[in-house]
Structure 1
Amino acid sequence: MKTIILTLCLWNLLYRYTDAQSADNVPLGPIESFIRTNLIGHPVILKPQTWEFDPDIALRRRKQFIELNGDKGEKLIERIGLGIDGRDQERLLRQRQRDEGHLGGLNYFLP
Protein backbone atom coordinates (compact mmCIF):
# COMPACT_ATOMS: atom_id res chain seq x y z
CA MET A 1 0.00 0.00 0.00
CA LYS A 2 2.84 2.37 0.87
CA THR A 3 4.57 1.69 -2.43
CA ILE A 4 1.41 2.49 -4.38
CA ILE A 5 0.98 5.80 -2.55
CA LEU A 6 4.67 6.60 -3.03
CA THR A 7 4.44 5.73 -6.72
CA LEU A 8 1.35 7.91 -7.17
CA CYS A 9 3.04 10.81 -5.38
CA LEU A 10 6.16 10.56 -7.54
CA TRP A 11 4.08 10.20 -10.70
CA ASN A 12 2.11 13.30 -9.64
CA LEU A 13 5.32 15.29 -9.16
CA LEU A 14 6.79 14.23 -12.50
CA TYR A 15 3.56 14.57 -14.45
CA ARG A 16 3.52 17.18 -17.20
CA TYR A 17 0.29 19.01 -17.74
CA THR A 18 -0.50 19.08 -21.43
CA ASP A 19 -1.75 22.13 -23.25
CA ALA A 20 -4.34 21.48 -25.94
CA GLN A 21 -3.39 24.59 -27.95
CA SER A 22 0.20 23.86 -28.96
CA ALA A 23 2.94 21.38 -28.21
CA ASP A 24 5.55 24.18 -27.87
CA ASN A 25 3.80 25.84 -24.97
CA VAL A 26 3.63 22.87 -22.59
CA PRO A 27 3.79 23.82 -18.90
CA LEU A 28 6.49 22.11 -16.89
CA GLY A 29 5.97 19.77 -13.99
CA PRO A 30 6.93 20.96 -10.52
CA ILE A 31 10.27 19.15 -10.33
CA GLU A 32 11.37 20.13 -13.83
CA SER A 33 10.29 23.70 -13.16
CA PHE A 34 12.29 23.78 -9.90
CA ILE A 35 15.39 22.38 -11.57
CA ARG A 36 15.14 24.76 -14.52
CA THR A 37 14.57 27.93 -12.50
CA ASN A 38 16.89 27.26 -9.55
CA LEU A 39 19.72 25.08 -10.82
CA ILE A 40 20.07 25.61 -14.56
CA GLY A 41 18.59 29.06 -14.96
CA HIS A 42 15.51 30.38 -16.70
CA PRO A 43 15.63 30.12 -20.52
CA VAL A 44 15.25 33.89 -20.90
CA ILE A 45 18.49 34.40 -18.96
CA LEU A 46 20.36 31.90 -21.12
CA LYS A 47 19.48 33.58 -24.44
CA PRO A 48 22.41 35.42 -26.04
CA GLN A 49 22.05 39.21 -26.02
CA THR A 50 23.55 41.80 -28.32
CA TRP A 51 24.07 45.44 -27.40
CA GLU A 52 25.18 48.30 -29.60
CA PHE A 53 28.09 49.89 -27.78
CA ASP A 54 30.32 52.75 -28.87
CA PRO A 55 33.37 53.21 -26.59
CA ASP A 56 34.31 56.54 -28.21
CA ILE A 57 31.02 58.33 -27.56
CA ALA A 58 32.29 59.81 -24.28
CA LEU A 59 35.12 61.53 -26.10
CA ARG A 60 32.68 63.07 -28.57
CA ARG A 61 30.26 64.25 -25.87
CA ARG A 62 32.93 65.60 -23.49
CA LYS A 63 32.93 69.12 -24.98
CA GLN A 64 29.14 69.35 -24.73
CA PHE A 65 29.21 68.19 -21.10
CA ILE A 66 31.88 70.73 -20.16
CA GLU A 67 29.93 73.59 -21.79
CA LEU A 68 26.71 72.59 -20.03
CA ASN A 69 27.94 71.43 -16.61
CA GLY A 70 31.46 72.81 -16.12
CA ASP A 71 34.79 71.03 -16.22
CA LYS A 72 34.24 68.84 -13.15
CA GLY A 73 30.46 69.09 -13.09
CA GLU A 74 30.35 72.00 -10.63
CA LYS A 75 27.41 73.65 -12.46
CA LEU A 76 25.55 70.34 -12.43
CA ILE A 77 26.05 69.95 -8.69
CA GLU A 78 24.92 73.53 -8.15
CA ARG A 79 21.78 72.99 -10.27
CA ILE A 80 20.90 69.83 -8.35
CA GLY A 81 21.23 71.74 -5.08
CA LEU A 82 18.93 74.51 -6.28
CA GLY A 83 15.94 72.21 -6.71
CA ILE A 84 13.29 71.89 -9.40
CA ASP A 85 10.35 73.75 -7.87
CA GLY A 86 10.89 77.02 -9.77
CA ARG A 87 12.59 78.86 -6.90
CA ASP A 88 16.11 78.09 -8.06
CA GLN A 89 17.07 81.74 -8.69
CA GLU A 90 16.00 82.74 -5.16
CA ARG A 91 18.06 79.93 -3.67
CA LEU A 92 21.04 80.83 -5.84
CA LEU A 93 20.94 84.46 -4.62
CA ARG A 94 20.69 83.34 -0.98
CA GLN A 95 23.60 80.92 -1.42
CA ARG A 96 25.77 83.59 -3.06
CA GLN A 97 24.95 86.08 -0.27
CA ARG A 98 25.78 83.44 2.33
CA ASP A 99 29.09 82.53 0.66
CA GLU A 100 30.23 86.07 -0.08
CA GLY A 101 33.70 86.74 1.36
CA HIS A 102 34.34 83.12 2.29
CA LEU A 103 37.00 80.86 0.86
CA GLY A 104 34.98 78.63 -1.44
CA GLY A 105 32.03 78.90 0.93
CA LEU A 106 33.95 77.41 3.87
CA ASN A 107 33.76 79.08 7.27
CA TYR A 108 36.32 76.72 8.81
CA PHE A 109 39.36 78.84 7.98
CA LEU A 110 37.87 82.13 9.23
CA PRO A 111 38.20 83.25 12.87
Structure 2
Amino acid sequence: MKIVIISLLAISLHLTNSQITSGIVSDFVRTNLIGYPLIHEPKTWIFDPDVALKRRKQFVDLHGDKGEKLIERLGLGIDGNYEERLAEQRKRDEGHLGGLNAHLP
Protein backbone atom coordinates (compact mmCIF):
# COMPACT_ATOMS: atom_id res chain seq x y z
CA MET A 1 0.00 0.00 0.00
CA LYS A 2 2.90 2.34 0.72
CA ILE A 3 4.19 1.79 -2.82
CA VAL A 4 0.85 2.85 -4.28
CA ILE A 5 0.76 6.02 -2.17
CA ILE A 6 4.34 6.90 -3.05
CA SER A 7 3.73 6.32 -6.76
CA LEU A 8 0.59 8.47 -6.66
CA LEU A 9 2.50 11.26 -4.95
CA ALA A 10 5.33 11.00 -7.46
CA ILE A 11 2.90 11.25 -10.36
CA SER A 12 1.18 14.26 -8.83
CA LEU A 13 4.51 16.05 -8.22
CA HIS A 14 5.77 15.57 -11.78
CA LEU A 15 2.62 16.85 -13.43
CA THR A 16 1.85 20.51 -13.06
CA ASN A 17 -1.63 20.59 -14.56
CA SER A 18 -4.15 19.66 -11.86
CA GLN A 19 -6.71 18.32 -14.38
CA ILE A 20 -4.19 15.88 -15.86
CA THR A 21 -3.13 14.80 -12.38
CA SER A 22 -6.67 14.23 -11.18
CA GLY A 23 -7.47 12.39 -14.41
CA ILE A 24 -4.49 10.06 -14.06
CA VAL A 25 -5.15 9.47 -10.37
CA SER A 26 -8.85 8.87 -10.89
CA ASP A 27 -8.13 6.51 -13.81
CA PHE A 28 -5.58 4.63 -11.71
CA VAL A 29 -8.00 4.26 -8.80
CA ARG A 30 -10.89 3.32 -11.08
CA THR A 31 -9.01 0.68 -13.07
CA ASN A 32 -6.81 -0.84 -10.38
CA LEU A 33 -8.63 -0.47 -7.09
CA ILE A 34 -12.34 -0.16 -7.78
CA GLY A 35 -12.75 -1.71 -11.20
CA TYR A 36 -14.65 -0.58 -14.26
CA PRO A 37 -18.35 0.21 -13.74
CA LEU A 38 -19.22 -2.56 -16.17
CA ILE A 39 -17.90 -5.12 -13.68
CA HIS A 40 -20.27 -3.93 -10.96
CA GLU A 41 -23.48 -4.00 -13.03
CA PRO A 42 -25.83 -6.87 -12.13
CA LYS A 43 -26.35 -9.43 -14.88
CA THR A 44 -29.00 -12.08 -15.27
CA TRP A 45 -28.38 -15.38 -17.04
CA ILE A 46 -31.01 -17.85 -18.14
CA PHE A 47 -29.62 -21.17 -17.00
CA ASP A 48 -31.26 -24.57 -17.19
CA PRO A 49 -29.20 -27.28 -15.47
CA ASP A 50 -31.29 -30.04 -17.08
CA VAL A 51 -30.77 -28.92 -20.68
CA ALA A 52 -28.05 -31.54 -21.25
CA LEU A 53 -30.40 -34.33 -20.24
CA LYS A 54 -33.04 -32.96 -22.58
CA ARG A 55 -30.66 -32.70 -25.54
CA ARG A 56 -28.87 -36.02 -25.00
CA LYS A 57 -31.42 -38.00 -27.02
CA GLN A 58 -31.09 -35.56 -29.91
CA PHE A 59 -27.29 -35.88 -29.83
CA VAL A 60 -27.42 -39.69 -29.74
CA ASP A 61 -29.88 -39.80 -32.66
CA LEU A 62 -27.76 -37.43 -34.73
CA HIS A 63 -24.17 -38.42 -33.81
CA GLY A 64 -24.33 -41.88 -32.23
CA ASP A 65 -23.95 -42.90 -28.59
CA LYS A 66 -20.32 -41.83 -28.20
CA GLY A 67 -20.16 -39.57 -31.25
CA GLU A 68 -19.09 -42.31 -33.70
CA LYS A 69 -21.13 -40.86 -36.57
CA LEU A 70 -19.81 -37.37 -35.84
CA ILE A 71 -16.19 -38.54 -35.99
CA GLU A 72 -16.89 -40.39 -39.23
CA ARG A 73 -18.57 -37.33 -40.78
CA LEU A 74 -15.66 -35.10 -39.79
CA GLY A 75 -13.30 -37.51 -41.54
CA LEU A 76 -15.34 -37.37 -44.74
CA GLY A 77 -14.79 -33.64 -45.25
CA ILE A 78 -17.11 -30.88 -46.37
CA ASP A 79 -16.16 -30.48 -50.05
CA GLY A 80 -18.96 -32.69 -51.39
CA ASN A 81 -16.78 -35.75 -52.08
CA TYR A 82 -17.94 -37.60 -48.99
CA GLU A 83 -19.38 -40.58 -50.90
CA GLU A 84 -16.04 -41.34 -52.57
CA ARG A 85 -14.15 -40.95 -49.30
CA LEU A 86 -16.64 -43.17 -47.48
CA ALA A 87 -16.18 -45.88 -50.13
CA GLU A 88 -12.37 -45.59 -49.81
CA GLN A 89 -12.57 -45.82 -46.02
CA ARG A 90 -14.86 -48.86 -46.15
CA LYS A 91 -12.48 -50.56 -48.60
CA ARG A 92 -9.46 -49.65 -46.44
CA ASP A 93 -11.08 -50.91 -43.22
CA GLU A 94 -12.34 -54.19 -44.64
CA GLY A 95 -10.91 -57.07 -42.60
CA HIS A 96 -9.71 -54.77 -39.83
CA LEU A 97 -11.01 -54.39 -36.32
CA GLY A 98 -11.17 -50.83 -35.07
CA GLY A 99 -8.75 -49.68 -37.77
CA LEU A 100 -6.12 -52.25 -36.73
CA ASN A 101 -5.33 -55.57 -38.29
CA ALA A 102 -6.92 -58.30 -36.16
CA HIS A 103 -3.92 -60.61 -36.71
CA LEU A 104 -1.33 -58.22 -35.34
CA PRO A 105 -0.76 -57.80 -31.59
TM-score (norm 2): 0.74
Q: Does residue 76 in structure 1 map to residue 70 in structure 2?
A: yes
SS in 2 for 1:9: coil
CA RMSD in angstroms, aligned pairs only? 2.2
Once the 2 structures are TM-superposed, how far is the Cα of residue 30 of structure 1 from its aligned partner?
A: 2.0
Give the match for residue 31 of structure 2.
37
CA displacement 1:1-47 (0-9 Å, x = unmatched): xxxxx486262311xxxxxxxxxxxxxx1221122123322111221
Give the match for residue 26 of structure 1.
none
Alpha carbons 2:60, 2:67 under 8 Å: kept: yes
CA displacement 1:34-93 (0-9 Å, x = unmatched): 221233221112211110011111111111111110001111111112111111121111
Alpha carbons 2:95, 2:101 under 8 Å: kept: no
Which one of 21, 33, 49 corresponds to residue 55 of structure 1?
A: 49
More contact order relative to length (CA 8 Å, sep ≥ 6): 1
Give the match for residue 8 of structure 2.
none
Identity of aligned residues (%): 65
Q: Which runs of 5+ in 2 are unaligned?
A: 1-12
Give the match for residue 88 of structure 1.
82
Q: State the alpha-carbon separation in 2 of the partners of residues 7 and 101 from structure 1.
A: 81
Count of paired positions: 92
Specify whether residues 88 and 62 from structure 1 end up closer, same or farther in structure 2 by C-alpha distance, changes over 3 A only: same
Q: Does residue 9 in structure 1 map to residue 16 in structure 2?
A: yes
